[in-house]
Structure 1
């Protein structure tokens, strides 16, 4: 019904303009803009990693997703390439193709809403599941290699590149969140420290004093990246949300 009214309105305007004579060749149809923006993250002045996505929360459900995506402009010195995904009908996520430029201001405009955030020096990590190591580089230069333990058979750590989603100085690890009852032989309820979330499915980089003897020589976790406490604290203190972690065999 809404479209029918719109088209009737446009047709009426065109007919009315035509009545003024041949001096008017055509009427321009102005498409409505995307809904108002409620929030954009990262927020103004934040410093994030070079794989950080940009999330746009709209004030109301978006009917025309293509138009909403076209309203997004993300730039450093030039426009940046990326891909879009949706969570529900109000939240749009833009993920960079490759990485954002390091140590740079990044401007975001969505319709009339604008913000600017910054990237850090380019803190990246590589988890080598075959050699049981976790290596951190800054600006492309390796600065620290740590012994690590990854997921054991049946609970393998996923391969791929994962931006850090959240970080916690302390956290409770509960096996029920990944489908393991506490009374199962694999069940656990542990107070942990120095943790960075990589997936909503429960994969973290974190301190694991209980597996120090295996770190560097065996994979014994339920999918997380276990680090020695001192190394885990150092990583927590140097990593930003949005920093990429590359995991491979």
Structure 2
């Protein structure tokens, strides 16, 4: 009996507890929380970004003076887009330009003039729906001097596999880094190469790390107009050239063997007897090293007053250095060709053999000489590019790290 009463009391307590729980659930003001941690009714959305006025930046900044015409000329907008923009010169002529696809920037696409004031005008629309003006002006520099450069390579020409690209100026360039940044070389196939400053910083050359691959196409661009060259000197005009590298032809010669081989596309096609410069005289010995064919002449007048001759005409002359070294014909030394060295530094061939070689030559062909007591160096003229190993050559760039 006692057990039964105890059981009934517990049951009553349980019922009351259930009623209380139901009552609490019905009356509570606390929100229900899902397993994901969000309130009932689904996830909340972030408020939209606040609308902002457009912010316009022009480069050069408004009021800037002595601006290099070759520097980037741009207008950009943050928190909005460009509705309209013009840049005009002192005569009211509009500068040509191009807007970006998203209308957030505009860039000039034509060269500006020296010593001129340019004025911005236009509007930009902000995300707040309001417009702000694009305005301001800047003045380009008045150069103390303008300087032009000249390239050694011509449009549509074909050159040998060792051909350096040379951009030469009439006087020293003091801001070499600025000029070098304006230079580019594009090749197909892609070719590793580097610029180097030579000849007292009056010339900058580009050469590949290794010889060009045959049939490479090359385009060089020197966008130096408006570029600060240092000391108040600025570039006068841009210059460019597109050319092709031809077949591979390499001359190899050892002065002690008195022979000269012509290697074309990896195959030896000629082996000529030759007389090199007299070994016993440092002033006459042919220099060892990689020469580069610079030009060729059906006849050429040779003079060397130091050694007592002037105006000696020779046939089929191929210049391989500015120090007076040529490959040319000379009937008077046929007796020595293939036997001994008697020339004044040139490679003497018979006129018949000289003509065969002459007809095959391209400017830029390498001529690799070994065996002599004197080495080709930077003192030996304009095309001494291959006298440097790659590490040394790369350090001659103004942008070398």
CA contact (8 A) 2:193 2:206 kept: no
The normalised TM-score by structure 2 is 0.49
Secondary structure of the corresponding residue to residue 68 of structure 1: helix
2:335 aligned with 1:213? yes
1:162 corresponds to 2:273:
no
Question: Per-residue deviation at 1:95?
Answer: 3.0
Question: By how many angstroms is 1:55 displaced?
Answer: 1.7
Shift of 1:67: 2.1
Is 1:71 matched up with 2:174?
no
Match among 251, 259, 268 for residue 142 of structure 1:
268
Q: Partner of 1:96 in structure 2?
A: 208
Largest Rg, 1 or 2:
2
Distance 2:311 2:171 in 1: 39
Structure 2 CA distance for partners of 1:72 and 1:79, relative to 1, 3 Å: farther
Corresponding position of 2:160? 49
Structure 2 vs 1, CA of residues 171 and 61 (structure 1 numbering), >3 Å: closer, same or farther? same
Match of 1:201 among 323, 326, 349: 323
Partner SS for 2:262: strand
Q: For residues 99-118 of structure 1, what are the structure 2 equivalents within 5 Å?
A: 99-111=211-223, 113-118=239-244
Give yes or no for contact 1:37–1:110 (8 Å, CA) kept in 2. Answer: no
Q: Deviations over 1:176-224 (max 9, x none)?
A: 2xx33x3xxxx45411111111121101111011100110111111111
Deviation at 1:63, TM superposition (A): 3.2
For residue 66 of structure 1, give the secondary structure of its aligned residue in structure 2: helix
Q: 1:66 to 1:239 in 2, by over 3 A?
A: same
Counterparts of 2:148 and 2:211, CA distance in 1:
25
Residues 149 and 214 in structure 1, CA contact (< 8 A), matched pair in contact too: yes
**1:165 shift after superposition:** 1.1
Deviations 1:37-76 (A, max 9, x none): 5433311100011111112245886331122223222232
Give a deviation string over 1:212-248, Cα, whole Å, max 9, x none: 0110111111111011111100111100111000001
Q: 1:173 to 1:108 in 2, by over 3 A?
A: same
Distance in 2 of aligned mates of 1:135 and 1:63: 43
Instruction: Please name the residue that 1:28 is paired with.
Output: none
Identify which of structures 1 and 2 has the higher relative contact order when contacts are C-alpha pairs closer than 8 Å and 6+ apart. Answer: 1
| 2:256 alignment partner, SS class | coil
TM-score normalised by length of structure 1: 0.77
Larger displacement relative to structure 2 (145-154 or 35-44): 35-44
* Equivalence for 1:80: 192
> Alpha carbons of 1:158 and 1:104: their partners in 2 closer, same or farther (altered >3 Å)?
same
The offset of 1:115, in angstroms, is 2.2
Please point out which of 119, 122, 132 is paired with 2:245.
119
Q: Structure 2: how far apart are the matches of 1:223 and 1:107?
A: 35
Which runs of 5 or more structure 1 residues have no equivalent in the other structure? 1-7, 11-22, 24-31
Count the aligned residue pairs. 214
Contact 1:40 1:56 survives alignment (8 Å): yes
Asked if the contact 2:191–2:212 (Cα under 8 Å) also holds between the matched residues in 1, the reply is: no
CA contact (8 A) 1:126 1:134 kept: yes
Give the conservation status (yes or no) of the 8 Å contact 2:195–2:204: no
